Amino acid sequence: MKLLQFNILDGCPSKARYEKFKAWMAKQDYDVIGLNELNDWDANKLQTHAKEWGYDHSVVFEMETSPYYVGFLSKTPIEIIRKDEENFYHGLLHVKTKGTHFLIAHLTPFESSYREKETKQIAEFVQAIKEPTVVMGDMNTLSPLDDAHYQREKLAERLAKGKILSKQLLKNGEINYQPMNTLLEAGLYDIGFTGEFTSTFPTPLEHDLTKAVIRRIDYILANAEFMKRHPIATVIKDSEVEAISDHYPIACTCYL
């Protein structure tokens, strides 16, 4: 089984990015794909492109409370388990295919204390599932597994200088790792963590990397049952994806 997680930045509203995204997707070959920021994409639009790309099944969560829709593509039939926009700022889509649960998340970009509530809810969902389970998406949160890197970069001090980023990522002057800790303590494993820091945001698109706060905020997490498949995840970094979004996609290969 091969998985992909990709935040495509506002749904690729410009024609140039839209065409680049479609062309890139047409060359990919995954079993399932989780997508964030499908702004202005409806079920018909996603289904049409999904079939062009080789995916007969697709779901887009067209929320009323957020324009940042989440979506899911699969080569096998999809069972919709949950669509939740009451407890999640950008919604949570929970589906099942091929005996595996997938929770596609896009957590709030604002106060980290709100993400504590969102991840607590996800933890409760995950702990109630006994089958293989994956949680993936733009979590907008930092991981304690990357703490050594952030300490070297003196990230907390840098974040404290900005009003917006300090609210997003700090609590009492320190990096708030609690949202990700909640997921890890719920029995989820961070597949993308290799021991060496690899950022997922931002790309050079719309960002000056000499001034940007480089961080890892996109994740593929899995429970113990899924880990039996020996998954390996990598962040895709090349000029093609850098022209599509300000997030790098994450690919994962595992063995059924």
Closest CA to 219 of 195, 249, 186: 249
DSSP assignments along 186-254, one per residue: TT-EETT--SS----B--STT--TTTS--B--EEEEE-HHHHTT--EEEE--SHHHHTT-SS--EEEE-
Angle between helices 178-185 and 112-127 (to 10 degrees): 10
Give the pLDDT score at 78: 98
Give the pLDDT score at 74: 98
Phi, psi of 200 (to 5 degrees): -120, -5
CATH number, position 153: 3.60.10.10
Structure tokens at 168: 């997003």
Give the pLDDT score at 102: 98
Give the pLDDT score at 255: 84
pLDDT in tens, 138-184: 999 999 999 999 999 999 999 999 999 999 999 999 999 999 999 99
Question: Which residues neighbour 6 within 8 Å (Cβ) at sequence distance 6 or greater?
Answer: 33, 34, 35, 36, 245, 247, 249, 250
Q: How many domains does the chain have?
A: 1
User: Does residue 202 have a cis bond before it (omega within 30 degrees)?
Assistant: yes
| Alpha-helical regions (H) of the chain | 15-26, 43-52, 112-127, 147-152, 155-160, 163-169, 178-185, 224-227, 239-242
Instruction: Point out the residues of the chain with pLDDT beneath 70.
Output: none
Question: Which residues neighbour 1 within 8 Å (Cβ) at sequence distance 6 or greater?
Answer: 31, 32, 98, 100, 229, 253, 254, 255, 256
Structural domain that includes position 62: 2-253
